[in-house]
Amino acid sequence: MAKRILILASGTGSLAAAILQSIQDRELDLEVARVISDRPAPVLDLVKKFGVASTLIEYSKFESRAAWSAQMENVVASDKVDLVVSVGFMRILPASFIEKFSIINIHPALLPFFPGAHAIRDALLAGATESGTTVHWMDSGVDTGKVISQIKVQVEVGDTEESLHERIKIQERNLIVETLKRYAHVGLEK
């Protein structure tokens, strides 16, 4: 029986699409229970093309962070998933959520360097000659969890935040799918 995952995404859904396409092509033996977004985003329309359930738990519609967090926990718990996969989910999850579920996250930098929401900009400002992408276990810090896998991307002369990000996104799609293949077959060490 395939392991069940739940995807958290807040953007266009390119990483979610890579995962769903790999499942549809039978390259990845997982079942996606649902995709959750914290804001109206293109990912919610994209997943419909794959016949996967999606849920909007819009942060701005809740009276408090605690109320939003409780709703997130209830929905994820109801799906009885083995792993939560955060791919471009731009909301910090509360400690109670992180303690309750096994969660991996993908980040556009070679952690531990350049954690946080502006990793690509920060790498360019620091004059880094290489960047990349990292899949890591989520913990209560910001991008501080144990590294699972990484791919390097060279910073080219004249790179802008956008040009570097585009090259990193290509590698992110490969890395998340390869990491989930390993998870499906042998699991991931915490």
Which residues participate in catalysis according to the annotation? 107
Residue 3 Cα distances to 95, 145, 172, angstroms? 24, 22, 22
Report how far residue 79's alpha carbon sits from residue 59's, in angstroms, rounded to the nearest whole number. 20
The DSSP call for residue 190 is -
Query: Are the CB atoms for 96 and 73 separated by under 8 Å?
Result: yes
Cβ pair 85, 7 in contact under 8 A: yes
